Structure 1
Amino acid sequence: MDAFTAGILQRIEAAQTDLHRARESGDDFLADVEQAELDDLRRLAAEHGVEVGAAIA
Structure 2
Amino acid sequence: MDAFTAGILQRIENTQSDLDRARETGDDFLAEIEEAELDDLRRLAQEHGVQVDVTPA
Q: Shorter-chain TM-score: what band?
A: over 0.9
Give the letter for the 1:52 counterpart: V
TM-score by length of 2: 0.93
Structure 1: runs of 5 or more not aligned: none
The answer to whether residue 11 in structure 2 is matched with residue 15 in structure 1 is no
- Alpha-carbon distance in structure 1 between the residues aligned to 2:45 and 2:24: 26
Name the Cα RMSD after superposition. 1.0
Equivalent pairs: percent with the same residue?
76
Give the letter for the 1:19 counterpart: L
After the TM superposition, list the runs of 4 or more consecutive aligned residues in structure 1 that deviate by more than 3 angstroms: none
- Secondary structure, in 3 states, of the residue corresponding to 2:50? coil
TM-score by length of 1: 0.93
1:47, CA displacement in angstroms?
0.1
Per the alignment, residue 45 of structure 2 pairs with 45
Structure 2: runs of 5 or more not aligned: none
- Secondary structure, in 3 states, of the residue corresponding to 1:44? helix
- Alpha-carbon distance in structure 2 between the residues aligned to 1:27 and 1:16: 14
The structure, 1 or 2, with the larger RCO (C-alpha pairs under 8 Å, 6+ apart) is 1
Alignment: residue pair count: 55
